[in-house]
Structure formats: structure tokens, C-alpha cells
Amino acid sequence: MTERDETSRTTLATPMILWDLPTRIFHWSLVVCIAGSYLTAEDGDLELHQTFGLCVIGLVLFRIMWGFVGSEPSRFTTFLRGPTAILRYLRAVRSGKHPSIPTHNPLGALSVVALLAILLVQAGLGLFATDDIFFEGPLNGWVSYDMAATLTGWHHLTFDGVAILILLHLVAIGAYAVLLRIDLVSPMVTGKKLVKPEDRVPDPRMAPLWLAVVLAGVAAGLAYGLTLIG
Ligand code: HEM
Ligand code: HEM
């Protein structure tokens, strides 16, 4: 084999499964429901706003369960790392040796958890919110008038945090594409990531689809249940 053949062999990247179908459906449905929540709130269509908001709750509940029992790359134990691992990762990126990681990188993992948490708080506060005229969230009756006004104020305020985190998320993805020439978006669409032979690790363990369907049913039931207990 010539030296040239050897070089092209080692740089030949092959696809490897990264994000399973449930994680991808979760992600793109979340994008649609957040856009829907925002646009309906701006339009004052609060019935539809609540429907999108309840879908956000269902999606986040699903993702939390999937983070414990789902496919290996989507599990919290796979991607949540301590400060030492984050610093090691940042040092590697600074020195130009970007490690190929078959899940979220240690820094991205923090933004994933922050996004899930703030979205749950945002939608959770919405359950108690009211526009003081026509519409009340399903749990508004559980709190006093003054408390509902406070929680509605927080619902508005928290959205600033949601918007900032989403902006950071998009800037980070753009920076990976432009500065590091790493395409994170295609794997979130196709599920597959291109890996060079030298970076290849054994294929991750994938959870069965039926488990995702059961958990999605549980999450949807819990979210819908919120409209019944108020
Ligand atoms: C079940 C879930 C939700 C319920 C019941 C709910 C309920 C409400 C209510 C009653 C208002 C009107 C408050 C007012 O007039 O002062 C409101 C406003 C708003 N909600 Fe929600 N919400 C939910 C989820 C969400 C989610 C997931 C988002 C975004 C991610 C969101 C974003 C907003 C924003 C930005 C406003 C302010 C709109 C404006 O006045 O410009 N909500 N929500
Ligand atoms: C409403 C806006 C968005 C929200 C709330 C959001 C939220 C999230 C969350 C929670 C994850 C973690 C996925 C998981 O492990 O389940 C994630 C990952 C990801 N998102 Fe988004 N996202 C948004 C918009 C977008 C858009 C518009 C794009 C594409 C341009 C995008 C591309 C990605 C990619 C590539 C990942 C994987 C990052 C990695 O490889 O570590 N997101 N997003």
C-alpha cells in the first residue's frame, strides 16, 4: 500500500449511530413547541399557548426518563461530567486536539441540563399564570390572587432566561461549525455522525423503540393529568 493510500484510508470517515430516533423526535418537537408557545403568547391565544406549554412539559418529562433508561449516548450518566473533565475538554479544544465524543461534550452537557431545567420551570410557572381577564392556567386556583400575580410575573421573567439559553445554544452550534469545522446538526437530523477510523469506539447500546413509546405515553398522560387536577 502506498503512503497516499494509507493516508486516505485513515482519513476516511464512516457513519456511526449517535442520536436515536426518540431523542431526535424529542429535540425537533421541542423546537416546534417552544416556537408555538412563544408565538401564541404574543398573539394572546392562551388556549393554544397552554396546549403548546403542556406539550413542552410532556416532552421534558419524557427526556428526563429517557436520560435514565434510554440509549447510551442520550443517558445523563454518559454525558454529565465533573469540573475536571470539563477543564480537560476545554484544554484539549484550545490546543487544537478536539476529542471525538460519542455523546454531548462535557460543556454542552451543562447547557442541555440547564435548558431542560429552565423549560420545566417556565412551563411549571405557566400552570399558575393568568392574564387577569379571560384565561387561567390549570393550577391557578391552587394559589391566592397575589401569589398568582407573582408567579405570572416570574413566568414573564423566566422567559428572558429561556431566550438567552436558546441563543447561547445556537451560537455554540454555529461556533462548532465555523471555528472547529464540526457539524453537530446533521447527527441531530439523521442520527449518525461521521467518525474517522482512529476515533472509532464500539457502537453504543441502543434502547428499544417500544420503551420510548411507553415512556412517551406516560409523559403525555402526566402532562394531560395537570389539566384534570386543578
Ligand atoms: C402549561 C404551560 C403554560 C401555561 C398554562 C402558560 C400560561 C400563560 C399565561 C396565562 C400567560 C399570560 C400572562 C399575562 O397575560 O400576563 C402567559 C404568557 C407568556 N408565556 Fe406562558 N404558559 C405556559 C407555558 C409557556 C412556555 C413553555 C413558554 C415558552 C417557552 C411560555 C412563554 C410565555 C411568554 C413569553 C408569555 C408572555 C407573553 C407577553 O405578554 O408578551 N409559556 N403564559
Ligand atoms: C427552541 C429552540 C431549541 C431548544 C429549546 C433546543 C434544545 C436542545 C436540547 C434540550 C438539546 C439536548 C438534546 C438531548 O440530548 O436530548 C439540544 C441539542 C442539540 N440541538 Fe437544540 N434546541 C433548540 C434549537 C435548535 C436548533 C434551531 C438547532 C439547529 C440549528 C439545534 C441543534 C441542536 C444540536 C446539533 C444538538 C446536539 C448538540 C450536541 O451534539 O451536543 N437546536 N437542543
The domains of the chain, with CATH numbers, are 24-197+209-225 (1.20.950)
Q: Give distance in angstroms: CA of 41 to centre of ligand 1.
A: 6
Cβ atoms of 189 and 21 closer than 8 Å: no
Look at ligand 2, atom 9, and give the residue with the nearest C-alpha.
112
- The pLDDT tens digits along the chain (230 residues) read 444 444 444 468 899 999 999 999 999 999 999 999 999 999 999 999 999 999 999 999 999 999 999 999 999 999 999 999 999 999 998 888 888 888 999 999 999 999 999 999 999 999 999 999 999 999 999 999 999 999 999 999 999 999 999 999 999 999 999 998 999 999 999 999 998 888 888 889 999 999 999 999 999 999 999 999 97
Cα(110)–Cα(103) distance, rounded to whole angstroms? 13
Query: What pLDDT does residue 7 have?
Result: 45
Query: What pLDDT does residue 124 have?
Result: 98
Query: Which ligand gives the minimal distance to the CA of 103?
Result: 2
Query: SS in 3 state form for 186-227?
Result: HHHHHCEEEECHHHCCCCCCCCCHHHHHHHHHHHHHHHHHCC
Q: What angle (nearest 5°) sits at the alpha carbon of residue 183, between those of residues 181 and 187?
A: 160
The SS3 call for residue 139 is coil
Q: Give distance in angstroms: CA of 45 to centre of ligand 1.
A: 10
Q: Give distance in angstroms: CA of 32 to centre of ligand 2.
A: 12
Strands (E), the chain: 14-17, 192-195
Look at ligand 1, atom 2, and give the residue with the nearest C-alpha.
53
pTM: 0.94
16: left (phi over 0), alpha (psi -120 to 50) or beta: beta
Query: What pLDDT does residue 1 have?
Result: 42
The residues lining ligand 1, judged by C-beta closer than 6 Å to any ligand atom, are 34, 37-38, 41-42, 46, 49-50, 53-54, 56, 122-123, 126-127, 129-131, 135, 137, 152, 155-156, 159, 162
Q: Give distance in angstroms: CA of 21 to centre of ligand 1.
A: 29
Residue position matching grid coordinates 460519542 = 102
Buried b or exposed e, range 27-57, using 16+ CB within 10 angstroms: eeebeebbebbbebbeeeebeebbebbbbbb
Cβ atoms of 203 and 19 closer than 8 Å: no
Look at ligand 2, atom 35, and give the residue with the nearest C-alpha.
185
The residues lining ligand 2, judged by C-beta closer than 6 Å to any ligand atom, are 23, 26-27, 30-31, 34, 63, 74, 104, 108, 112, 115-116, 166, 169, 173, 184-185, 188
Query: What pLDDT does residue 4 have?
Result: 46
Query: What pLDDT does residue 110 have?
Result: 95
Query: Which ligand gives the minimal distance to the CA of 123?
Result: 1
Going from the C-alpha of 93 to that of each of 25, 98, 113, 185, 201, the distances in angstroms are 30, 5, 22, 19, 20
Query: Which ligand gives the minimal distance to the CA of 18?
Result: 2
Look at ligand 1, atom 6, and give the residue with the nearest C-alpha.
126
Q: Would you state the cell numbers that stand for residue 44, as one nine-digit string? A: 394572546
Cβ atoms of 111 and 168 closer than 8 Å: yes
Atom of ligand 1 nearest to the CA of 127: 5
Cα(215)–Cα(210) distance, rounded to whole angstroms? 9
